[in-house]
A and B are shown apart, each in its own frame.
Chain A
């Protein structure tokens, strides 16, 4: 299972490493489902380039294609893979080193008069 999580997270990070794909995902997140033509109207990228990026994003499970108006394919953002990537980021962001330092500082501040025993670090 962690293997799967890692593979999913990796696809998210690969997708996010490209500025055009970030712009496409941001567009779908802020404005909802859109066609490649819609996206080309508000991004400084050609419609052809957008279609290529959308294909990669669909393969990674980050967007799904659905029928839109006038037989155009509409793309919708999928949040599930982002949530898996978020778990990876959460582990990095927990910052126990910083918190334990804060705990030590707190104890030293509230009890400044105590004799300090040996410290191993």
Chain B
């Protein structure tokens, strides 16, 4: 054990599930506590985007919407190239706890390493750069 594949946290929040749900699934909520600005198309397969001031913009894909109990999305793994197909899956589960909410967040998929994709990504990158630089040279030569 050393390469964590799964992160899980449970917190008790002193607000009812409906309020927590709104904070998790609306552009207004996400753009306040999570990013600095957000957009979201709240349906399975919908796109969401989060932007941080002076930071990255992250594209998310909404996967599960079961109001007000389950909200799931996938997003890129920070630091990997933008076109890398590997993504982690984040799922929020909301349960009533007294007048408040027990919120569980799990993120899985950090340790995924398709051996094939690993080699392909590497070859693709090296060849990609070589051919792009070649195209640039051709373009400049032609001008």
* B9-17, B40-48, B52-60, B63-71 - the one binding chain A: B9-17
- A-B residue pair count with CB separations less than 8 angstroms: 123
B9 touches A97 (CB 8 A): yes
B118 touches A80 (CB 8 A): yes
A9 within 8 Å of B (CB atoms): yes
B9 touches A2 (CB 8 A): no
A49 within 8 Å of B (CB atoms): no
**Known: A117-B14, A121-B12. Contact between A6 and B33, CB under 8 A?**
no
**Known: A86-B80, A103-B23, A117-B14. Contact between A91 and B4, CB under 8 A?**
yes
Nearest residue (CB) in B for A10 is B2
Minimal beta-carbon separation of A79 from chain B (angstroms): 6
Nearest residue (CB) in B for A97 is B9
Minimal beta-carbon separation of B25 from chain A (angstroms): 12
Q: Binding site of B, secondary structure by majority: helix, strand, loop or mixed?
A: mixed
B9 touches A96 (CB 8 A): yes
Which residues of A lie under 8 Å from residue B80 when comparing CB positions? 83, 86-87, 90
| The residue from B7, B13, B81, B119 contacting A103, defined by CB atoms under 8 A apart | B13
The tally of residues in B whose CB lies under 8 Å from a CB in A reads 46
* A16-24, A37-45, A106-114 - the one binding chain B: A106-114
Complex alpha-carbon distance, A64 and B119, angstroms: 14
B100 touches A2 (CB 8 A): no
| The residue from A4, A9, A93 contacting B78, defined by CB atoms under 8 A apart | A93
Chain A interfacial positions (CB closer than 8 Å to B): 1-2, 4-6, 9, 76, 78-80, 83-84, 86-94, 96-97, 99-100, 102-108, 110-111, 114-121
Please give 4 more A-B residue pairs, beta carbons under 8 A apart, in addition to A2-B3, A6-B2, A90-B79.
A5-B111, A90-B77, A107-B23, A117-B14
Chain B interfacial positions (CB closer than 8 Å to A): 2-5, 7, 9, 11-15, 19-20, 23-24, 29, 32-34, 77-81, 84, 86, 88, 97-100, 103, 105, 107, 110-115, 118-119, 121-122, 125-126
Q: List 15 A-B contacts (CB under 8 A).
A: A1-B113, A2-B111, A83-B84, A87-B112, A94-B7, A103-B13, A103-B24, A106-B29, A107-B19, A110-B32, A111-B19, A114-B14, A119-B100, A120-B97, A121-B12
